[in-house]
A and B are shown apart, each in its own frame.
Chain A
Amino acid sequence: MSPLDETVPGGAARSFVLRRTQLLRLTAGAAGANVSTLLFAADRPLERLCVPDTLKAQMQVRIRPPMVLMSDAGRALASVTGSSLDWHDAISGHSTDAHLARFGPSSYANDRNSWRQSARAGLLDELAKWDLGRRDLHASINFFSAVVPGDDARGSLTWRPEHSAEGDWVDLRAELDVLVVLSTAPHPLDPAPTWRPAPVHVAVRPGGAPTADDPSRTFRAESGRALDETERTAA
């Protein structure tokens, strides 16, 4: 099987299995890109990305290198081995049809393949291909987007404008065989008055298992224990 190396148009969705040790690079094709991403253990998708566990174990309210992306079963699904950005949002979900209402109605009949579809619609379409559905939705990671909490009493959330530019990238290393389900629809808090979803390049290449001194393993004791748990159970 030749590795994936393709451009996903803006506002589209895609799903594939990233094999253990493979590296996935996502590259923004234009400013304002967003990739709402769900992750599952490919051989047992009941086990899925758990953003709360990932954040609290590593004491972050964002995703950045070299964090380990953890499942709800305490295992490393993937590691963020590098990125041109130090903040990827994981606390504000993905777009639903309600977020597209301001652009007016859109349909295949009128707009052909430029029709506007939410991340939710695309993610559910992709999940269905793996016999998954609404019960399997979970907090997505929104690569290339930043939503920053204020230091006020409410923890006010602010979408950061101009966070990403064309060419920004992020690398994930699969620590298990991981089902990746992604949508390139805009972030739900992106206030852009016109629908111009950015394309994203998706490339898979061979990598290697994390070494003893891998930055993701040594980031925090918790990160290392999640990798240990994967290695112990998936070997």
Chain B
Amino acid sequence: MTALLPSGPTTSASTTGTPWLDTVVAPGAGWVGAVPAGSRFRIVDLHGNQAVDTLLFDADDPTNRYSAVDTVREQGAAYLTTGSVLLTQDLDPLATIVDDTCGRHDTLGGACAQESNVVRYGPHTRHQHACRVTFVRQARQYGLDVRDLTHNINFFMNVPVTSDGRLSFEDGVSAPGKHVELRAERDVVILISNCPQLNNPCNGFDPTPVRLLGWTS
């Protein structure tokens, strides 16, 4: 197991506080949990080039949920990185990215679904596992359903957008051991799908596990 952990929780000066979470999420699996205000939540890309599809909800009112478009508009930039404040559709801060050794993360590319796989890659992909399935399965534990799923963050994923109007999926900017760390700005629920996509470079065509770490403030 140690070999899977090139960036352990003791390597960063920011990792003070009491640990409350240390788990590995397999590719194609997910995680959902409550993260209290002030605590920190780190995602480690253990093997590199792994997309981690993520949604956040205000724990007290799940209809006040992460909004990709409100977040990118208010920060005036398409990509997420250190300093990005993840906003709800009511412009309330859910979490701040306080550490990022990857450098940038996508929030315009959305999650894969069986149906969008058919559109993008053809009918032979209809029964391939997809993030939306994981989201629905995990969200159920908090009483959330399809209607609560909105446009997500893709941590470690590289989706360049350009001034000539183009958007593309490129090979990852991440690498083994890169991590991103959030500080919860209110009590939040975080919903994660560790992306199973096999048809584009977002996972280097080989989905791999990620590690989740949490510390209280």
Contact = CB atoms under 8 A, between A and B. Distances in A.
A93 B167 contact: no
B165 interface: yes
A72 B69 contact: no
Given A62-B165, A189-B73, A52 B108 contact: yes
B73 A46 contact: no
A208 interface: no
B72 A229 contact: no
A98 interface: yes
A230 B81 CA distance: 38
Interface residues of B, number: 47
B102 interface: no
B79 A155 contact: yes
Interface string B52-69: 000000000001100111
A60 B118 contact: no
B183 interface: no
B22 interface: no
Interface in A132-170: 133-140, 147-151, 153-157
B72 A151 contact: no
A55 to B, nearest CB: 5
A69 interface: no
Given A61-B166, A157-B78, A55 B108 contact: yes
B147 A50 contact: no
Contacts of A155: 77-79, 160-161
B198 interface: no
Contacts of A29: none
A59 interface: yes
Given A53-B119, A74-B116, A59 B73 contact: no
Contacts of B147: 46, 135-136
Given A56-B110, A57-B116, A229-B118, A134 B89 contact: yes
Interface in A74-103: 74-75, 86-87, 91-93, 96, 98
A188 interface: yes
Nearest to A56: B109
A93 B108 contact: no
Nearest to A134: B63
Nearest to B62: A135
Contacts of A147: 73
Contacts of B168: 59
Given A61-B108, A61-B167, A62-B165, A53 B116 contact: yes
B47 interface: no
Interface in A19-40: none
Per CB-CB distance, the 4 closest pairs between chain A and chain B, nearest first, are: A52-B110, A74-B115, A155-B78, A93-B69
23 contacts: A50-B110, A50-B151, A52-B68, A52-B108, A52-B110, A56-B159, A56-B167, A60-B167, A70-B116, A74-B113, A74-B116, A74-B117, A91-B69, A134-B89, A137-B89, A140-B69, A149-B78, A149-B162, A149-B163, A150-B163, A155-B161, A222-B120, A225-B122
Interface of B: 63-64, 67-70, 72-73, 76-79, 81, 89-91, 104, 108-111, 113-120, 122, 132, 146-151, 159-163, 165-169
